[in-house]
Amino acid sequence: MKIQTHELIDAGLCGRAISVEPGCSRVELTPLQEMAVDSRGLVHGGFVFGLADYAAMIAVNDPNVVLGAAESRFLKPVQVGQRLVAEARVDEVRGKKHVVSVRVTLEGESVFTGVFSCFVLDKHVLA
């Protein structure tokens, strides 16, 4: 399935889609040294969130999708060089609102979970 949203996203920062099907996606990211917050290689949570957000956006897969809200849980720390996989699934659609659950794993173990409220607008948010 062709990705119809976020066409200019930087895969090095937010992940690379490895699977996109109607209502679901899988995205992978291996955090870079530039994402570390300390000398031990702890990755800033914003990059993990960005991966999850991108997975949610392409699970909805509409050119006019935007994030309205998110509930997130950071479950385990992530280090530079560890391969993360985000899996997103659209759980519910109510009009323009799409509720998407996302799970980010490291070697099959959850490091992040979230529920994203995504909205499909009639036109681009900046139009």
Structural domain count of the chain: 1
Q: Return the pLDDT at 10.
A: 96
Residue 72 domain-assigned?
yes
Q: Taking the chain (127 residues) in consecutive chunks of 10 residues, what is each chunk's mean pLDDT?
A: 95 97 98 98 98 98 98 98 98 98 97 98 96
Residue partners of 96: CB distance under 8 A and separation at least 6: 119, 120, 121
Q: Return the pLDDT at 87.
A: 98
pTM: 0.96
Residue 111 domain-assigned?
yes
DSSP character string of 30-80: ---GGGBSSTT-BBPHHHHHHHHHHHHHHHH--TTEEEEEEEEEE-S--BT
Q: Which amino acid is located at 58 in the chain? A: I
Closest to 52 measured CA to CA, from 28, 77, 82: 28
The CATH number for 75's domain is 3.10.129.10
Residue 125 domain-assigned?
no
Residue span of the structural domain in which 67 resides:
11-120
